[in-house]
Amino acid sequence: MLRSFRVRLLAGFAVIIALSLFLSALASVWLLREQQVEAAQQRIGLLVDPLARRVTTLELAGWPRELIRQDLEQVARYYDIRVLLVDPADRVIVDTAPDKRMIGAQLAVPDLTVTRTPDSGEQMSSFRAVRMTTGGEDLYLFTPTIRSDDGSLATARSLRLVIAVPAQDVTSAWAALLPRLALAGGGAALVAVIVASLLASRITNPIAQMTRASEAMSRGDLPQRVEGEGDDEIGTLARAFNQMSAQVSRSNRAMRDLLANVSHELKTPLTSIRGFAQAMVDGLATEPAEYQEMAGAVYEEAERIRVLVDDLLYLSEIESGTLQLTLDDVDVDAIVADTARRLRFEAEDRGVTIRQALAGGQLRADARRVEQILANLTDNALRYAPPLSEVLIRTYRQDGQVAIEVHNSGAPIPPEHLPFLFERFYQADGSRSNDRHKGLGLAIVRELVQAHDGRVAVESDADAGTVFTVALPVRGPSNHVVSSAPTAPEVAR
């Protein structure tokens, strides 16, 4: 198919080139036609006056007419023309044509007598061309111009010279252009075909690369890249393909990671459930207390699985774009105060104090989603805050946005971990991977912030601690759907 497209493209170029050359040649011939006819007449007419003078000179020198005829035949052969001599009675007495068929015929060609004036100078034509049909032939007859000075006629000649040319030779003089035009057209066509081939290659080569890359992707080799240069449509298409390939590769890698992470997270609770259930089926729990303990363990593991599945479904809903925000004018400071009050007991259990510095005011947002963002960030900060320290929640307005900062003074996050903190199941502290937090909270925070057209960032160092910053536009997201959102976990894990 690609070869067929290349052939069709070259064929299209060839048709356009051929049509352009044909129309150019046709226009050139049409515009130069009259000029070529005049040029042909000029070339033949310029011979009339010298030959007429030669005949007059030979006649005045006393040459017999037979010798004059022989001389004219040599001249006619040399110039490839036909020369006639007409006597005063307008009868042809010499015809240099091989068949001499016009000898004795009457050829009434009118004289052209011109008076030279001071203004005329040397610009007068030395010949006259007349088209006539004589003896069944269509001829152009060229005769010399008879000049008179001061109004008196020049000395009359007893013989008149006439050059006879078939009219077709004059009117078809433009045909002499055809070989030159054909040569020029052939050269132009060759150059045009070479240029067209280069242009076709520029178009088809990236398409061929994309075709091969697409076939490789269909076989599972997803990381593909094609060369894309320039700002034209082909370059734009190549860059779009590269972006698509990169996105597909990332999505496929994320899907594999998700399946691996989910499988890993489900393996432990399912193993526990299976073990306790098998023990209960086998009757290993002989006392009601033991049976109650095993049943409680099964319930706790099942609850862990439920929380994990709920968070995954909620995160998938956000990422798919189906999450609908219920926007209203909300007081972000009030949401911060309420979140701090709800997490106060958890903070006290960890020996951590929650401090607030509030100056955010109101913004347009989904209150429940903002509360989820704050709850996840605060819960995350509490888990990593050292005992007897504090977690600071600060709000303020800047550049049309409301900023929310959640700060703790725990151990700094290594720089190599910072770019991945908002990925699913990513945990910078592997020692905590088996607790109830499964690494989805920050991923949900990022998606909820982006749904509000906001941004989230993290900074961490040994001196300042770790600060998560969320910036939300005061006017709310530019594109949203107002609806009643489904109930979601208050604190995603």
Is residue 403 pLDDT above 90, yes or no?
yes
Q: Closest Cα to residue 290, out of 301, 279, 300?
A: 279
- pLDDT at 335 exceeding the cut of 90: yes
**Secondary structure of residue 147 in the 3-state scheme:** strand
Pick the most confident of 88-92, 167-171, 206-210, 376-380: 376-380
50: which strand partners?
A: none
Token pair recorded at residue 477: 């997201």
Neighbours of 111 (CB within 10 A): 13
pLDDT(227) > 60: yes
From CA 482, how far away is CA 13, in angstroms rounded? 55
Question: Are 488 and 370 spatial neighbours (Cβ–Cβ below 8 Å)?
Answer: no
- Residue scoring higher pLDDT (397 or 210): 397
Is 87's pLDDT higher than 60? Answer: yes
Alpha-carbon distance 187 to 402, whole Å?
Answer: 71
Q: What tens digit of pLDDT does each residue of 1-20 get? A: 445 666 777 777 777 877 77
Please, what sign has the CA dihedral across residues 276, 280, 284, 290? positive
Give the pLDDT score at 113.
Answer: 45
What angle (nearest 5°) sits at the alpha carbon of residue 132, between those of residues 125 and 106? 105
445 token code pair: 């925070």
Q: Mind listing the pLDDT tens digit for each residue in 428-475? A: 554 444 444 456 788 888 888 988 999 999 999 888 899 999 999 999
